[in-house]
Structure formats: structure tokens, C-alpha cells
Amino acid sequence: ARAEMDIDAALRWIKPSVREMGAYTLKPTEPRIKLNQNESPYDLPDVLKARIHAILADRPWNRYPPFVASNFISAVSEATGWPEEGVLVANGSNELIQAVLAVTVGPGVSVVIPEPTFTLYRLMTDVNGGTVVSVALTDDLAFDVDAIIRAARDTDAAVVVLCTPNNPTGGALSENEIRRIHDETDALILLDQAYIEFGGYDGIPMLADRPRLVVLRTFSKAMAMAGLRAGYMLAHPALAAEVHKAKLPYNINFFTEVAAAEVLRSRALLAPMVAEISAERDRIAAELARVPGLRVYPSDANFLVFRVETDAITHTALFDRLLAEYGILVRDVSKYPLLERCLRVNAGTPAENDAFLDAVRTIMTEAG
Ligand code: PMP
């Protein structure tokens, strides 16, 4: 009976902008070595996990979490020096991208997005019925700052999204470039700094005298907490109060609240791992650059993009062989404009990176 249902009678009410969209998906796989999602290769230190467990064990689980996640918010404020009234916390920074675009975007509203980049900005602009104004990165995968400014001015854009360091390409904007984009446009500047601990200019000091700047941070990468989902936003308190209206009550469960606050206050424990990951990224870049037939793009993040530039092997064959023969999963980013024949790999542990580099060298040598 189900098969005969007239599902079109239901689907006609879905917004056309949504019907036309593709969904954000990722095929689940459990490889031996996982270098495809830019996570930390290291779990949180045991001492920190134990402290978090102890706090959680004492809490009543039948009660709602605090209405305002004040412990998490005050930890963010202490760590960043930004006032609590200008801090929003969420269940991953994804949720804050959604909230910022929910309160700014609607039909007739333009959002400037340098691409290729993280696809959620485009998805959320589309869901809200807005117009994506795409500005291509240069052939070297750098930001085209003049084109971004021009596009924002020409379309009277409400938001310019700057993902710096950029996912999936790894390039970052300088202080001067961020300042120019803010000061030479009228838009809100959504500065997504999910990877800032690994390199690039940290925009927080610029917040003080730039009311249109919004900074996003995540706990999913350098803070080794992707499984718990936490992120935060910093902006002028009046702007934060508006974005707050698009957030769901009780979106932060108390696992997240407790863990994020503890991890942030103990971040010195994580610093050596972050430093190692950045150094490993540089080592992977240098080693890959030596492999004939590969071109490596510079990165300030915990991952990098490389292109298969020889006809001896396709990027698809390299991807497949890494997985099938070595159990190493990287990300195929070749479907993005400008990234034809490119793969993305994140830095793992030194041993994982050695295994990856050895496998690539072997496969590329065999291909000739
Ligand atoms: N922004 C960027 C640029 C990302 O790459 C990611 C994760 N892929 C996110 C935001 C989302 O992070 P979170 O886990 O905090 O939702």
C-alpha cells in the first residue's frame, strides 16, 4: 500500500529551493587509518576524560541542562578575552553557521562565498531561499580578495563567508586581507576559523573595533572533541543577541557543556598535540611534493590538498588503492571546481602519516 501512496502530494509543499538541493552526505566506512575528516588523531588525555566523567556522574540526568550554558560560556570568555554577552555556544559550529544564515538570509538576499569551500554555507543559503554569489579561488587556490570585495559591493551582500584556513584547500587570509574585506564592504563577515589552531591569522583581536565581524570556532579539530559536538561564536553582544533568536532552547546537552568547559580550561594539555599535527602537516606536504606526478598546495590547516598531475594513474585509482590495499581513507575532493584530480588528506599520528606516505610512494612508483 505504501508504494502506491501519492508522495508528490506531500513533496509539493517542500520549498523549491530545497527540492533542488543535494543533501550533505558522507559514506560511512571504518578504515584502518582514517585521514578523511580532519579530526584529531589523538583522543583527549585520560586525566581530562576522567575528570569529565566524574562531573557527569554527579549530575542528575533526568533534569534539563542549564537554560544558559554559563559554565561553557564563561570558559570561552576566559580563553578568548571576549565578553560573555558576545559569546554563543552550540552543538558544533555547524549549528552556528545555520543560525547566522537563518537570521540574515531570505529571498533576494546575497551571500558571497569564496569557493571551493565547506559546502554547508551554500546549503544553508539555499535552504533560506537566498542567493549564493560564488567567487572562485585563484588557480593557485588562494583567495581573490579584490573579487570578493567587488562581489559583495555589487550585490549589496548581507554576508561574506570567509573560511580561513579554508576547507578543503587549506589556504588562509592574512590580517590585512580580512581587514580589507571588512572595511571595504558593508556586509557581515562570517569568519569560520575551524582550523585556526593549526595556522593562519586569528581574527579575535580584530573583533574589538569591527562590529560586522563574526568569528566561529569548533571543538571538533584541534580540541579533539568531534564526537561530543561543540562550537562557539564571538560577535558584538547586540549581534550575538539577534543570532541567539535562531537557536533552539537546550541545544547544549550537559555532556557537551561540561566537556567543552573542562577541555578549554585545560587546553595547555592539548598544545603539544596541536603543535605535532601542524609539524606533521608540513612534513606530509614536503614529502608529497617530492613524489613525481603530484602537486601539493600550501596549507595552514591540519590537512592539505594534492593533485595527481601525471597520466600514469588517476586520482580515483590512487584513492581506491590506498583504501583497498592499505586501509587508508582520504577524501576525494575532485568534484569541486578547481580541484579536478585532487585528493585531501589530514595529518594523523606520525606512524599513520608514514604509512600514508609509504603507500603513496609505492603506488606512484608502480604506476610509473
Ligand atoms: N566549519 C568548517 C570549515 C569545517 O570544516 C567544519 C567541519 N567539517 C565545520 C565548520 C563544522 O564543525 P563542527 O563539528 O563544529 O560542526
Q: What's the pLDDT at 67?
A: 86
The atom number, within ligand 1, closest to the CA of 229 reads 14
Q: What's the pLDDT at 16?
A: 87
CB 98 within 8 A of CB 293: no
Cell of 39: 579530526
Residues 221, 94 share a domain: yes
In a domain, residue 73? The reply is yes
Cell of 221: 579539530
Q: Is the pLDDT of residue 6 over 90?
A: no
The atom number, within ligand 1, closest to the CA of 231 reads 15
At 104, which amino acid appears? T
Distance 244 CA to ligand 1 centre (A): 19
Residues 123, 255 share a domain: yes
Q: Is the pLDDT of residue 151 over 80?
A: yes
Nearest CA to ligand 1 atom 5: 167
Distance 320 CA to ligand 1 centre (A): 26
Q: What's the pLDDT at 5?
A: 80
Q: What is the mean pLDDT of residues 287-300?
A: 98
Q: Is the pLDDT of residue 337 over 90?
A: yes
The atom number, within ligand 1, closest to the CA of 97 reads 10
What mean pLDDT value characterizes the chain?
A: 96
Q: Is the pLDDT of residue 3 over 80?
A: no
Residues 95, 154 share a domain: yes
Distance 6 CA to ligand 1 centre (A): 37
DSSP 76-124: HHHHH---GGGEEEESSHHHHHHHHHHHH--TT-EEEEEESS-THHHHH
Residues 87, 34 share a domain: no
Residues 37, 58 share a domain: no
Residues 308, 226 share a domain: no
In a domain, residue 199? The reply is yes
Domain boundary among 246, 266, 286: 266
Whole-angstrom distance, CA of residue 249 vs CA of residue 194:
24
Nearest CA to ligand 1 atom 6: 194
Q: Is the pLDDT of residue 217 over 60?
A: yes
**pLDDT grade, residue 26 (50/70/90)?**
confident
The atom number, within ligand 1, closest to the CA of 118 reads 3
- Ligand 1 site, CB within 6 A: 92-94, 118, 163, 167, 192, 194, 218, 220, 226, 231
Q: Is the pLDDT of residue 2 over 70?
A: no
**CATH number of domain containing 26:** 3.90.1150.10
Cell of 231: 562550537
Whole-angstrom distance, CA of residue 25 vs CA of residue 23:
6
Q: What's the pLDDT at 200?
A: 97
In a domain, residue 14? The reply is no
In a domain, residue 128? The reply is yes
Domain extent for 352: 22-43+270-367
Residues 79, 154 share a domain: yes
Q: What is the mean pLDDT of residues 104-114?
A: 98
Distance 194 CA to ligand 1 centre (A): 6
In a domain, residue 132? The reply is yes
Residues 282, 233 share a domain: no
Distance 94 CA to ligand 1 centre (A): 6
Distance 193 CA to ligand 1 centre (A): 9
DSSP 258-317: HHHHHHHHTGGGTHHHHHHHHHHHHHHHHHHHTSTTEEE---SSSEEEEEE--TTS-HHH
Q: What is the ipTM of this complex?
A: 0.98
**pLDDT grade, residue 1 (50/70/90)?**
low
In a domain, residue 6? The reply is no
Residues 144, 26 share a domain: no
Q: What is the mean pLDDT of residues 316-326?
A: 97
Distance 367 CA to ligand 1 centre (A): 35
Q: What's the pLDDT at 247?
A: 93
In a domain, residue 85? The reply is yes
Q: What is the mean pLDDT of residues 287-311?
A: 98
Cell of 313: 594513474
Residues 229, 124 share a domain: yes
R_g of the chain computed on alpha carbons: 21
In a domain, residue 196? The reply is yes
Whole-angstrom distance, CA of residue 294 vs CA of residue 312:
11
The atom number, within ligand 1, closest to the CA of 95 reads 16
pLDDT per position as a tens digit, 230-270: 999 999 999 999 999 999 888 899 999 999 999 999 999 99
Q: Is the pLDDT of residue 22 over 90?
A: no
Domain boundary among 227, 245, 266: 266
How many domains, in total, are found in the chain?
2
Residues 287, 186 share a domain: no
pTM for this model (two decimals) = 0.94
pLDDT per position as a tens digit, 200-216: 999 999 999 999 999 99
**CATH number of domain containing 237:** 3.40.640.10
Domain boundary among 226, 245, 266: 266
Q: Is the pLDDT of residue 125 over 70?
A: yes
Q: What is the mean pLDDT of residues 273-278?
A: 98
Residues 89, 30 share a domain: no
Q: Is the pLDDT of residue 296 over 70?
A: yes
**pLDDT grade, residue 47 (50/70/90)?**
very high
